[in-house]
């Protein structure tokens, strides 16, 4: 997986510098780049549109912003990093003393060299984010303050990519595209989603896979509002975020706790013996909380490496491309592919020779296993599949009850199907 890891990291580096927010040209520029890798259907939803209990806000765009000292030197400069401006800052052009300016400055005293990420989406405000050590070095005096931004009626932008499947039942993969200059949260998630979509397209999957690239919270709410009549097609779902740090994998279960995605993820993580953690659902976090809201109650979990707010670099300038690794992103991608492989191959079967154990030897099933390093395990898988193929148990049920790897169970089912001993 080294190759995809390097390619995903290169995509993160391309996306990282763009100034994104919940609306605006930064989101569009992000989707333009993603669209070079996979075809996208881009949606523009006008300001003022009612979406569930929310309303699409005004669109925010910014051209320049800075704080300059008496010599004209920019001591805080949006051109150096989009994190330097409080997200959704209203326009301002003024000169004021440092004592007054301080009320609009945000720092991280515990990490004096880092710049924090702060926003004010739904309250008119302006401000700057800077390193504490920069603030400490500022002398008293007057400073020129400029935020050259617009907050006006426009649109909220999100995009979808669909990988057609053999059935109309859908798996959704959702990631947020609203954070500026943060690599792990969430350009790594976007990159993994892009390469997951490309990998699935090569496999002709069973399910139809719908990838959603939307601003956090308001984007998922908008998607749900616009698709409320068809969400019954969604059988499984996964929110991807923080996909590239070097921490262990963490899976947050859906609100149901026993959804297909929950079971498949638990099985794959346990069978792989990767360092991992499985957490219960909480109604806080990423957009899984929107998809799992009780009116929809979709089976959507969330996969991260280190969870949100679980690492010091979270929502700071230290979450840069050097913080994410190609190996970690490749590992996240591999787990997603394994989990969706389970969901795509999970079936229920009926044993066509249920009275006593059928003779496997005369059907050549034992001979077909000759030379396999896991011959005994494969034989046991056949017996388990025959035993539980009563129309009420799926292959994942078999794998969980037997303790055997899903791939081994699925291979046994394929062999028994070919021998005419079971039917779907």
Unique residue bearing structure tokens 């996969």 = 303
Q: Are residues 125 and 17 in the same domain?
A: no
Cα 349 from chain centroid? 33
Q: Are residues 46 and 85 in the same domain?
A: no
- Structurally, how many domains does the chain consist of? 3
Q: Are residues 52 and 64 in the same domain?
A: no
Cα–Cα dist 193/195, whole Å? 6
Cα–Cα dist 127/115, whole Å? 13
Region of 99 please: left (phi>0), alpha (psi -120 to 50) or beta: alpha
CATH code of the domain covering residue 106: 3.50.30.90
Q: Are residues 241 and 304 in the same domain?
A: yes
The whole domain housing 301 covers 2-57+155-345
Domain limit, last residue, from 345, 361, 386: 345
Token output for 170: 């859908």
Domain limit, last residue, from 129, 152, 175: 152
Q: Are residues 280 and 364 in the same domain?
A: no
Please list the pLDDT of the chain residue by residue as tens digits (424 residues).
457 999 999 999 999 999 999 999 999 999 999 999 999 999 999 999 999 999 999 999 999 999 999 999 999 999 999 999 999 999 999 999 999 999 999 999 999 999 999 999 999 999 999 999 999 999 999 999 999 999 999 999 999 999 999 999 999 999 999 999 999 999 999 999 999 999 999 998 999 999 999 999 999 999 999 999 999 999 999 999 999 999 999 999 999 999 999 999 999 999 998 999 999 999 999 999 999 999 999 999 999 999 999 999 999 999 999 999 999 999 999 999 999 999 999 999 999 999 999 999 888 887 655 555 667 888 999 999 999 999 999 999 999 999 999 999 999 999 999 999 999 9
Q: Are residues 334 and 361 in the same domain?
A: no
Q: Are residues 205 and 269 in the same domain?
A: yes
Q: Burial level of 80, CB count in 10 A (0-12/13-18/19+)?
A: exposed
Cα–Cα dist 94/338, whole Å? 56
Domain limit, last residue, from 329, 345, 361: 345
CATH code of the domain covering residue 353: 1.10.10.10
Q: Tally the residues of the chain.
A: 424
Cα–Cα dist 377/356, whole Å? 21
């Amino acid at each position: 997986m080294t190759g995809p890891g390097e390619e995903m990291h290169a995509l993160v580096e391309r996306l990282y510098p763009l100034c994104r927010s919940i609306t605006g040209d930064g989101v569009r520029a992000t989707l333009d780049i993603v669209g070079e890798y996979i075809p996208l259907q881009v949606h523009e939803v006008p300001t003022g549109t009612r979406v569930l209990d929310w309303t699409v806000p005004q669109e925010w765009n910014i051209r320049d912003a800075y704080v300059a000292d008496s010599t004209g030197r920019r001591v805080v400069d949006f051109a150096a990093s989009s994190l330097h401006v409080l997200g959704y800052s209203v326009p301002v052009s003024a000169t004021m003393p440092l004592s007054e300016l301080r009320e609009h400055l945000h720092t991280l005293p515990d990490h004096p060299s880092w710049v924090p990420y702060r926003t004010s989406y739904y309250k008119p405000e302006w401000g700057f984010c800077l390193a504490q050590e920069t603030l400490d070095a500022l002398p008293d005096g007057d400073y020129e303050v400029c935020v050259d931004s617009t907050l006006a009626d426009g649109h909220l932008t999100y995009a979808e990519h669909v990988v057609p499947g053999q059935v109309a039942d859908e798996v959704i993969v959702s990631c947020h595209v609203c954070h500026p200059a943060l690599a792990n949260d969430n350009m790594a998630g976007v990159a993994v989603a892009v390469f997951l979509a490309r990998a699935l397209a090569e496999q002709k999957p069973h399910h139809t896979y719908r990838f959603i690239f939307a601003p956090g919270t308001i984007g998922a709410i908008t998607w749900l509002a616009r698709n409320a009549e068809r969400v019954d097609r969604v059988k499984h779902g996964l929110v991807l975020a923080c996909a590239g740090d070097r921490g262990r994998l963490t899976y947050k279960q859906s609100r149901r706790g026993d959804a297909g995605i929950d079971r498949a993820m638990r099985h794959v993580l346990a069978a792989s013996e990767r360092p991992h953690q499985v957490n219960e659902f909480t109604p806080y976090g990423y957009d899984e909380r929107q998809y799992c809201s009780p009116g929809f109650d979709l089976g959507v979990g969330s996969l991260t490496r280190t969870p949100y707010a679980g690492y010091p670099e979270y929502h700071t300038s230290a979450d840069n491309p050097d913080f994410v690794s190609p190996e970690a992103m490749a590992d996240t991608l591999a787990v997603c592919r394994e989990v969706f492989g389970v969901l795509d191959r999970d079936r229920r079967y009926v044993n066509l020779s249920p009275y006593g154990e059928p003779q496997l030897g005369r059907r050549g099933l034992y001979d077909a296993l000759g030379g396999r390093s896991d011959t005994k395990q494969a034989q046991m898988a056949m017996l388990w599949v025959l035993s539980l193929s009563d129309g009420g148990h799926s292959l994942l049920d078999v794998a969980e009850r037997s303790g055997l790897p899903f791939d081994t169970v699925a291979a046994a089912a394929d062999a028994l199907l070919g021998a005419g001993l079971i039917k779907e």
